[in-house]
Amino acid sequence: MKNKFKDGSKLLFILMAISSTLIMVSCKDDDEDEPAKSPIASFQYAVSTDNYLQVTFTNYSQNATAYNWDFGDGEQSTESNPVHTYAAAGNYKVVLTAKNAGNASASYDQTIEIKDPNSALGLLAGESSKTWKLFREGTCMGVGPNADAARSWWSLDNTGIRPCIYYHTFTFKTDGSFIFDDKGMFWGEDKMFDGTPVFGTCFEAIASNMINANGADVSSLLSGTHTYTYDPGTNEVTLQGKGAWMGLTKLTTTGESAEVPDSRKFKIAITEHSGYDLMIVSYAYDDVYWDFSYVSYSNPALEPAVVEEEIPYGEDLPDVTPTALFNTFASTGPNDVQDLVPTESAVTITPGIDDPANASAVKVGRYQRGTEQYADLKFQLDYDCQFDNFTTVSIDVYIPGSNTYSEGGLTKNIQIWIADASQTMEFWNSWVQYDVDINDIVVDQWKTYTFNLETPTGGQGTPKTRTDLDLIGLVIGGSGHMVDGTFYIRNFKFE
């Protein structure tokens, strides 16, 4: 019995050994058969604050075991995270090639700019100081979705629309001071001065006029001396001091605001030309990019004059006093639409949709906001409307609670505006505006919102005092963001 137990034990150990060997061989075969993952090459870099020629490269490659760096100056390295010192300032194309165990490779490149901080500061602030003002040739500012499509949404040039801003000067001094001179005039920028008497106008630059859209004193934006810092490695300028600004007063480091921050940060790019230097100032937010062209002349004779009188734009439409102005959105037929025909805009309107509250009820319109920052439904009239026969404007709106509403994104706001677009390029600076109090808005049910034409919440005058209004707009879901939303509307009418 004892011998049999020993023999059985030996057999058990032999079987376990064979099993282990098979498992090891199986695992080994699986490992050998599994192909190496393809490498991904990536890196970031940082310029030393003590030596502008020294650059530290951080390798973020994946699935790689070997690296080769080409620093663009004839030098190379096989280190994972090299530190390289260039011989001189300049632009260098750095290429990282990453290889895996199977010798497969991938490459990634960036062009880096190595700048002498002293010479870079000289371009911005001269030997002791340098004064910049808006460029008067071509467009001087604009907004778009990114740097590649800058100024594609809107742009401004020297055609007399905002003459006062072309006189403003912005001076950088090598001692770190920044001086703004408003030259006695200021511009009533939207968002900053919405609903105030100076909105959309060039006005006298005095403290009593500097009350923003929130009723706050923003006179710190007027002429003053502040400080700045400049980082040539990142091309970033930070203006320090409440009221220090460049570009537009509403632009801050993080977005657009009617409030005045304690500092602002933006990027610059300066190029040298014969007789002048040109500086592009840019603010980049999520999906929104603003930039501005500033010039500093070494030869003042090259500077064009400011166009003081606005160059006529478009045509004066005939005056018409309609007795009916409506759109039910039940259909596109004449019984449901009188002159309020939707025109091309960011909003997609679909008439004849089932009522979300009662599918058997009269058809309604679906209002799809879209993802443009300023999405509104526009109705372009073919005449200047005289509103003598109307006292109110109203609309039925159904706001679904299923939309995603958030601060800085889609909201439950409702706004109607009436503007001149036939003779004004910047129609938003000419409109009469009506806003619904957020506390009056309901969700997941129909509600009629009615406005007295004689009591707008903002803008210029009233429809009764204006004779040039030809564009009507409806905004649901808020502005200043790029979040889509679905709403339903019916019975948009003037009575």
Print pLDDT tens along the chain (495 aa).
444 444 444 444 444 444 444 444 444 444 455 667 899 999 999 988 888 899 999 999 999 999 999 999 999 999 999 999 999 988 999 999 999 998 999 999 999 988 887 778 899 999 999 999 999 999 999 999 999 999 998 999 999 999 999 999 999 999 999 999 999 999 999 999 998 999 999 999 999 999 999 999 999 999 999 999 999 888 999 999 999 999 999 999 999 999 999 999 999 999 999 999 999 999 999 889 999 999 999 999 999 999 998 878 888 999 999 999 999 999 999 999 999 999 988 899 999 999 999 999 999 999 999 988 889 999 999 999 999 999 999 999 999 999 999 988 999 999 999 999 999 888 988 899 999 998 999 999 999 999 999 999 988 899 999 999 999 999 999 988 889 999 999 999 999
Taking the C-alpha atoms of residue 381 and residue 338, their distance in angstroms, rounded to an integer, is 11
CA distance 355 to 330: 10
Residue 146 C-beta-side C-alpha neighbours within 13 Å: 2
Q: For residues 349 and 342, is the Cβ–Cβ distance under 8 A?
A: yes
User: In this predicted structure, what is the pLDDT of residue 462?
Assistant: 95
Helix, strand, coil content of the chain in percent (nearest 5): 15, 40, 50
Tell me if the pTM is above 0.75.
Answer: no
Identify the architecture of domain 319-494 in CATH. Sandwich (2.60)
- Distance, in Å, from the CA atom of 252 to the CA atom of 245, rounded to the nearest integer, reads 8
* Residue spans of alpha helices (H) in 41-116: none
User: Helix (H, G, I), strand (E, B), or coil: what is residue 377?
Assistant: strand
Tokens describing residue 474? 């409806």
Structure tokens at 294: 């500033």
Strand pairing class (319-320; 384-385): parallel
The burial of 212, by beta-carbon neighbours within 10 Å (0-12 exposed, 13-18 middle, 19 or more buried), is given as: buried
Alpha helices in 52-131 (DSSP H): 117-125
Every domain of the chain with CATH number 2.60.120.260 lies at 319-494
Q: How far is the C-alpha of 481 from the C-alpha of 61, rounded, in Å?
A: 35
Q: What CATH number is given for 43-114 in this structure?
A: 2.60.40.10
**What is the per-residue pLDDT for 34?**
60
> What are the start and end residues of each CATH 2.60.40.10 domain in the chain?
43-114
User: Looking at residue 23, what is its pLDDT?
Assistant: 44
CA dihedral sign of residues 329, 333, 339, 345? positive
CA angle (264, 268, 270) in 5-degree steps: 150
Residue 414, both tokens: 């409702």
